[in-house]
Chains A and B, each alone.
Chain A
Amino acid sequence: MKYNNQPPVWIDHYLRWRLPAEQFEEVQGDMHELYALWVKEEGKRKANRKYLLNALTFLRPLPKPKFHFHQPNYTYSQATPFDMIRNYFTIAFWAMLRHKAFSFLNIMGLAIGMACSILILLWVTDELSYDRFHAKASQLYRITVDAGDVKAAVTMVPMAAVIQAQIPEVKSAVRLSKYYTHLLEVSERKFEEQRLLYADSNFLSVFTFPLVEGDAKTALSRPDGILLTQKMAEKYFGTEPALGKMIRKDNEEQVRVMGVLADIPANSHLQFDFLMPMSYLARSDERLKNNQWGSFNHYTYLELHENVSTDAASLQKLNTGITNIHKANAKIKAEYYLQPITNIHLHSNFLADLPGHGNIQYVQILTVVAIFILLVASINFMNLATARSARRAKEVGLRKVVGAKREHLIMQFMGESLMIAGISLVLAMVFVALLLPTFNDLSGKQLSLHFLDWQLWLGVGAIALITGLVSGSYPALFLSAFQPVKVLKGTLAGTHASTFLRNGLVVAQFVVSIVLLVGTAVVYNQLQFIQHRNMGYDKENLLYMQMRGNLYNQYQALRTELTQNPLTINFTATQDLPADLHTGTTDIQWEGKDPNLQVIFPSMAVDENFIEVMGMKILAGRSFFKDSKADKDNFIVNEKALQVMGMNLATAVGKPFSFGGTKGTIIGVVKDFNFKPIQQAIEPLVLQLNNWGGYIVIRTKPGQTEATIQALEKISSQLNPGYPFSYNFLDQDLANLYQAETRMGHLFTVFAALAIIISCLGLYGLSAFVAERRTKEISVRKVLGASAPQLVSLLSTDFLKLVLIAFVIATPLAWVAMHQWLEGFAYHIDLSWWMFALAGIAALSIALLTVSYQAIKSALANPVKSLRNE
């Protein structure tokens, strides 16, 4: 109802809050009536002031009207449940305030635990969110190939077109190249760009990479077009519109900007700065030009029609269809499998894949860690609550006498723990907000808290709810079971069962902590092992430069220059670096080969200096000769290759060997060395004499690295003035291969430390509780002559026993878990006893420090004080 001269609404709100519901209507009516009069007599302003004044005086409690006079049905026995709940809140609040230290430990422990879980939740959601932003994510698949012992993410050139023509379920097929490095130049500013991909023209219609400028339909249609991301557009053109501008490529031709892409989301497995049409690459690439079957070098993605079912059977049918296409056209034995695009990030372990994939194992490990840390924090709560149960026992007894049912009490204590969980959650969110930048550094992510995201709140709310319920469950059941007569008579003692449970929970906490500590020790040791392992060559002091532009034409001049300078004389030219080798061929023949056997031999094309400069060892035969025309058809193989071919060292040299169509002879055997990340075992390897470019690798003399770089730069800028000079170190590249493992190590350390801290918070609380309960006993002992060390050991040994038990339980668990993790590496450390001992001693000494603080405090206390107040 609307009427003039409405009094201020907020005052009415206040009245509604202040007054009992049954009195509100009449009072408000009276107030409004008077207000109308005041407005008429004295004007709006004065009326408002009077209204406020009158309203404020209702702060005084009103006597309850006797409603049974006129409303006989309304009696107090029907008081709303709200009254009871309000009482629960009051009591919970008081209980919290009365034991500030305990409440602090409780809330701190829970908050730290929750903060950990929230961080992990953010991390895990991010890992799981990869590639889901594509509008057609559920219809997108990548083709992977399984050729004998090698699984790869690449396919042959003509595959995409044939699939699109022959398999009706496929709407479109897109090919994508590997990363290319090009020199790009706009108005004299040059940058070497390493993240350029070539894609078929339907790329933008299949994937959801929106264009900020340009037309998606035609963006990749002309061969000399280029697309770049917003970030790159800014780098090259600043604030000017990039569309239609020209970019000079590799000091030669101009390409035209056909569109600007919105920056690629961090949770895309495809990461690139530039995109060029496949038709451009086809101008120079023989295989593309002639549409050749034979080698695997493109990523192929398929978009299925919307109505195509994607259950296992239908996918299997598609797999078979693609495999059949392969059989009809190519010689190599291979099977094809479709991989959903949303699986690529976490479920890829393929040869020649794009770099930067995650690992589902780590997602699982961290999820488990999150759950455990939350559990450890909940256990704290349970433990402290049961330990202090005696203090709440009288309240429980009284409530029961007055008529509370057990369900009510369970509800009360559950509610209480939910309330504490809620407070902890708020604190946890503050921690998360503060720690997120550090966490991002550790995990190499760009996570952020989106406070308006309902999913975040759903997840976080679920964490709080679960924590509250789990941690409240035991105290609720335990406290509500008290018998009122016993507790009110005051005969309640710490029951045996509750002590047992409490100890069990402490053991559980320390089991988790010790397992995490062992994990940390093992992960770090494995990382150390990787870094210091003998790779089969000397990886220190290896500087390399990629050959570009003119260096190819001036190859001989380059070699001459390098040879003339004593700093750079120790060099080798090689097609590939022995870090993360991707190539391989099945076209291999040797004497007595089983015709049905299909093996893949990776190969490296190297020059005659390679073996010497890298510090590898020839076991039989010889290395390549310099300038030897005859060596063009000669091969060096590694030990593993000998083993696969069934040859032995003594007789292998001189045997005929055919590789990739070249018939030649084995002239030497090199000792096995790692040319892939050491998750993989060493495979057979063929070395050929290099007759084209790749990399120049220089072994620098110790202490002369700087001078060598300068010398190399001088040579490079002389022979190849159009390109900026750039160089890398091989050992740094190798270290980067294990970035995921290194990050895992960091995360493990942090979470292990937090688990220990939370456990100790609980232990501290418990020891304080025990010390307090035994104050009198300690005083009496002291009076009778016990020394402080005796008392400290009396109070500490019980807890330390628990940690020891935890250690015994944790050891086999940690052993199994870490053994499994290490199995993922072809070369790994062995688990040894000292890792476990270290974790055990660490846990024990931290626990000892925690407990002894309280123990020493009570052992040193003046016994008179506690005995006097009897």
Chain B
Amino acid sequence: MSRAYLGEFEELVLLTVAHMNGESYGASITLDIKERTGRTVILSAVHVALYRLEEKGLVKSEVGGATQERGGRRKRLFSITPYGINTLSEIRQVREEMWQLIPKPLRPSVL
């Protein structure tokens, strides 16, 4: 098995990490996902996803960036690894291919 399988929520988190570009940590990801999808996100779920992604080597993290509203506590900043980017694009490719297989009338019009 060459590629890690991702859950739906994990994928969402991974995508967020990817687009936030080094400014992603627990709280910011929670807020971002909520803003974009409108669903209620529980912080612990985000953390679980992040640590699991790190375990799989899809993201890496470093510690830093304490701010006033965190009471001076440091953040763990996550950034996507090349392996993570690969995985994302592979997933996307698979999806694209599958979309192509769906008969036209069912496809929502994007144009």
Docked CA distance A57–B45 (Å): 8
Within 8 A of A (CB), among B31-66: 31, 42-45, 47-48, 51-52, 54-55, 60-63, 66
A661 within 8 A of B: no
Docked CA distance A23–B74 (Å): 11
Write out the residue numbers on chain B whose beta carbons fall within 8 Å of the beta carbon of A66: 54-55
Number of interchain pairs (Cβ within 8 Å): 88
Docked CA distance A301–B18 (Å): 93
Contact B47 A62 (CB under 8 A): yes
A28 within 8 A of B: yes
B4 within 8 A of A: no
Minimum C-beta distance from A40 to chain B (A): 10
Write out the residue numbers on chain A whose beta carbons fall within 8 Å of the beta carbon of B61: 65, 69-70
Q: In the complex, which range does the number of interface residues on chain B fall in?
A: 20 to 34
Known contacts A26-B26, A37-B31; decide if A32 and B44 are in contact (CB<8 Å): no
Contact B55 A33 (CB under 8 A): no
Write out the residue numbers on chain A whose beta carbons fall within 8 Å of the beta carbon of B52: 63
Contact B48 A60 (CB under 8 A): yes
Docked CA distance A57–B49 (Å): 14
B107 within 8 A of A: no
A126 within 8 A of B: no
Known contacts A37-B31, A66-B55, A70-B61; decide if A30 and B25 are in contact (CB<8 Å): yes
Within 8 A of B (CB), among A30-46: 30-34, 36-37
Q: Which residue of A lies closest to B51 (CB)?
A: A63
What total of chain A residues lie within 8 Å of the partner, measured CB to CB?
27
Contact B51 A1 (CB under 8 A): no
Contact A30 B48 (CB under 8 A): no
Within 8 A of A (CB), among B53-98: 54-55, 60-63, 66-76
Docked CA distance A218–B26 (Å): 80
Docked CA distance A25–B69 (Å): 14
Contact B43 A30 (CB under 8 A): yes
A54 within 8 A of B: yes
Write out the residue numbers on chain B whose beta carbons fall within 8 Å of the beta carbon of A702: none
A773 within 8 A of B: no
Contact A54 B73 (CB under 8 A): no
Write out the residue numbers on chain B whose beta carbons fall within 8 Å of the beta carbon of A133: none
Minimum C-beta distance from A4 to chain B (A): 9
Contact B54 A3 (CB under 8 A): no
Docked CA distance A681–B105 (Å): 126
Minimum C-beta distance from A75 to chain B (A): 16
Write out the residue numbers on chain B whose beta carbons fall within 8 Å of the beta carbon of A37: 31
Write out the residue numbers on chain B whose beta carbons fall within 8 Å of the beta carbon of A36: 69
Docked CA distance A456–B30 (Å): 55
A64 within 8 A of B: yes
Q: Which residue of A lies closest to B49 (CB)?
A: A63
A27 within 8 A of B: yes
Write out the residue numbers on chain A whose beta carbons fall within 8 Å of the beta carbon of B27: 29-31, 33-34
Q: Which residue of A lies closest to B43 (CB)?
A: A54
Minimum C-beta distance from B48 to chain A (A): 6
Known contacts A33-B67, A69-B54, A69-B61; decide if A28 and B73 are in contact (CB<8 Å): yes
Contact A58 B44 (CB under 8 A): yes
Q: Mark A48-60, 1 if CB is under 8 A from B, else 0.
A: 0000011001101
Write out the residue numbers on chain A whose beta carbons fall within 8 Å of the beta carbon of B44: 54, 57-58, 60, 62
Q: Which residue of B lies closest to A1 (CB)?
A: B72
Contact B42 A57 (CB under 8 A): yes
Docked CA distance A53–B26 (Å): 16
- Contact among A29, A34, A63, A64 with B30 in the assembled complex (CB-CB below 8 Å): A34
Contact B71 A65 (CB under 8 A): no
Docked CA distance A64–B71 (Å): 24
Contact A26 B76 (CB under 8 A): yes
Docked CA distance A58–B31 (Å): 18
Contact B47 A27 (CB under 8 A): yes
- Contact among A32, A57, A60 with B71 in the assembled complex (CB-CB below 8 Å): A32
Q: Which residue of A lies closest to B50 (CB)?
A: A65
- Contact among A25, A54, A63 with B48 in the assembled complex (CB-CB below 8 Å): A63
Q: Which residue of B lies closest to A70 (CB)?
A: B62
Minimum C-beta distance from A275 to chain B (A): 67
Minimum C-beta distance from B73 to chain A (A): 3
- Considering the complex of A and B, which 9 residue pairs feature the smallest CB-CB distances, nearest first? A29-B73, A30-B26, A29-B70, A57-B44, A30-B27, A63-B51, A26-B76, A33-B27, A36-B69
- 8 A-B pairs within 8 Å (CB atoms) are namely A1-B71, A26-B26, A28-B71, A30-B26, A34-B30, A37-B31, A60-B44, A69-B61
Known: A26-B76, A57-B44, A70-B62. 15 other contacts (CB 8 A): A1-B71, A25-B73, A25-B74, A26-B25, A26-B75, A29-B75, A30-B30, A30-B43, A33-B69, A53-B42, A54-B43, A58-B44, A66-B55, A69-B54, A70-B60
